[in-house]
């Protein structure tokens, strides 16, 4: 888990992600970490900050059929090896998948539990 620099518990989590906007389309990128607020994408391409996009997070355990979680987001910041996306919209199923991903992959489940207790609608 990385520090609370951006206010949410983040979990290291690598999975495929497809991102599409009016300006660009990226397929089969990889995430490096995820929070309930957003995620970081490893990519040589760097879309413009504040670009709105549709995000498809692909959950594939190699045993069952992959699950695609669709979210809406925007490009929040650039990093040297990729960029961060902030979530702007998600349905309840997407929220529950994200919550489970973070809960089961964080180094600090108690911090995540406390975060969920503090925030309305995160329970």
Question: Cα separation of 60 and 7, whole Å?
Answer: 28
Looking at the domain that runs over 11-118, which CATH code has it been given?
2.40.10.220
11-26 average pLDDT score: 94
pLDDT tens column, 49-75: 999 999 999 998 888 999 999 999 999
27-55 average pLDDT score: 95
Query: Which residue in this structure is represented by tokens 């994408």?
Result: 41
Question: Cα separation of 75 and 87, whole Å?
Answer: 9
Who's near 108: CB < 8 A, 6+ residues apart?
1, 9
First to last CA, the chain: 21
Q: Give pLDDT, residue 4.
A: 43
């Amino acid at each position: 888990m990385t520090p609370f620099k951006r206010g949410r518990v983040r979990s290291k989590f690598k999975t495929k992600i497809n991102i599409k906007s009016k300006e660009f389309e990226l397929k089969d990128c990889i995430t490096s970490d995820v929070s309930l607020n957003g995620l970081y994408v490893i990519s040589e391409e760097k879309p413009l900050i504040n670009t709105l996009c549709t995000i498809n997070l692909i959950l594939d355990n190699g045993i069952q059929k992959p699950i695609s979680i669709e979210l809406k987001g925007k490009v929040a910041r650039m990093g040297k090896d990729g960029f961060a996306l902030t979530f702007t919209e998600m349905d309840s199923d997407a929220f529950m998948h994200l919550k489970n991903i973070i809960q089961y992959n964080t180094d600090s489940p108690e911090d995540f539990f406390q975060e969920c207790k503090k925030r309305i609608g995160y329970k």
